[in-house]
Amino acid sequence: MTIQFHDETFRDDYTFHNSPEGIRRFPFPFDQDSYMYSVNLEPHAGGKAGSPFEKRFDVDEHYVAEMRDRAITLAEDPLRCQSLPHMELAGWDFLELVMVSKSEDYPELFMLNRDGDRWHWINRPLGIEQRFTFLDATTLPCGPMEYITRQTQGDHALLDQRDGNLWMDAGMVTSQADWSLDFDIGMNFFEWHAPVPKAHELGVFQRALKFLLNLQQGAPSRRLNWTMTVNPRLDTSPENYHKWGPEKRTVAPGNVGAKQYLRVELQTLWRLPRSNAIAFPIRCYLCSLEDLVTVPKWGRRLHRVLRDLPDELAEYKGFAVNRPVILDYLAPFDDGAPTSPGIFPD
């Protein structure tokens, strides 16, 4: 498999773009013509060839550019990566998971040789080669979680399990949908989900926590989540709201197709072996409306979902102010025809 990595930006001039193949592999989050919160977890055990679900950690055409953007964000705000002292072992667990997965799933891009605790890691796309001693943090340039998440797309939270709950005690978060690691660090599962409307009264988080507390090693799960973003900006953090918040007011009928993006998170959950923590990667994918409607099924379905979504969810998902112009743009692509089940293009 050959991936052509894009030279692109997720800020300032916004040169991000999806190739035609990138559009068709986009993880469209709606499997029917309506949406409401649900646990929607399924086994993360492979998937359709070429899709983001096929490999354990998806690597795509945006990999190099996303890692460059992460480095910019971390240079500006180092608190986007934090790990409480008791989470170092979980960091090593996660480093092992990612290195083994990537070297096995993408052998042309990544290599890992292990001789006892002496490890040799090569990341060809980023030009990284590192020899280190596993479980000895002095042999890496930074902590194990930070080291590997500077080379892994998506945000990553490490959750400690204790007292019948999950606690966000470590993370690398630079491409989040309006939440703050610095604010949430040390919070439990219900505390960091407190802002989500409707889901609490539906019992979604109670069911999800019960499932996660029983998550087994070797049996990861996944789900899709979504929101809307103006411009292809990865860092939509509360800390930088003054940069991206005003951009919502720049959408108009003449530019909505290019400026309004569907932002989808592929969330996976992994039980880690030594620490018993849960790794929670949150991989962000972006696709503009004008690209989405090139798949007729998606154009029809997205119009119906956004049209019928309750107002409080439209506000929470970040597009209430632009819903009229978005729906006006999408309406011509909805001819009223039925849509096939599932998320993939016809």
How many C-beta atoms surround the C-beta of residue 44 within 10 A? 19
| CA–CA dist 344, 346 (Å, integer) | 6
Average pLDDT over residues 252-279: 98
- Can 223 be counted among the known catalytic residues? yes
Alpha-carbon distances of 5 from 18, 146, 197, 227, 292, rounded to whole Å: 11, 23, 38, 25, 21
- Looking at this protein, which amino acid is placed at residue 254? G
Q: What is the pLDDT of residue 54?
A: 98
Question: Residue 200: its pLDDT value, please?
Answer: 59
**Residues in the chain, how many?**
346
Number of neighbouring beta carbons within 10 Å of residue 258: 15
Distance separating alpha carbons of residues 293 and 227, to the nearest angstrom: 17
Work out the number of other CB atoms within 10 angstroms of the CB of residue 124.
12
Q: Say what the pTM is.
A: 0.95
CA distance 67 to 3: 15
> With 60 as the cut, is the pLDDT of residue 326 above it?
yes
- pLDDT single digits (tens) 209-246: 999 999 999 999 999 999 999 999 999 999 999 999 99
Handedness of CA 122, 123, 127, 132 (dihedral sign): negative
The DSSP call for residue 17 is -
Domain boundaries along the sequence of the chain:
25-34+53-333
Residue-wise pLDDT for 142-168, tens only, equals: 999 999 999 999 999 999 999 999 999
State residue 6 phi and psi, 5-degree precision: -80, 145
Q: How far apart are CA 94 and CA 148, in angstroms?
A: 8
pLDDT at residue 202 in the model? 66
Token pair belonging to 5? 């990595």
Predicted confidence at residue 308, as pLDDT, reads: 96
Element (H, E) at 118: strand 118-123
Q: How far apart (Å, rounded) are the C-alpha atoms in residues 333 and 306?
A: 13
Q: Token pair 């080291």 is at which residue?
A: 147
pLDDT in tens, 163-209: 999 999 999 999 988 888 999 999 998 888 876 766 556 677 888 89
Q: How is residue 231 annotated by DSSP?
A: S
User: Which candidate in 114, 223, 307, 323 is catalytic?
Assistant: 223
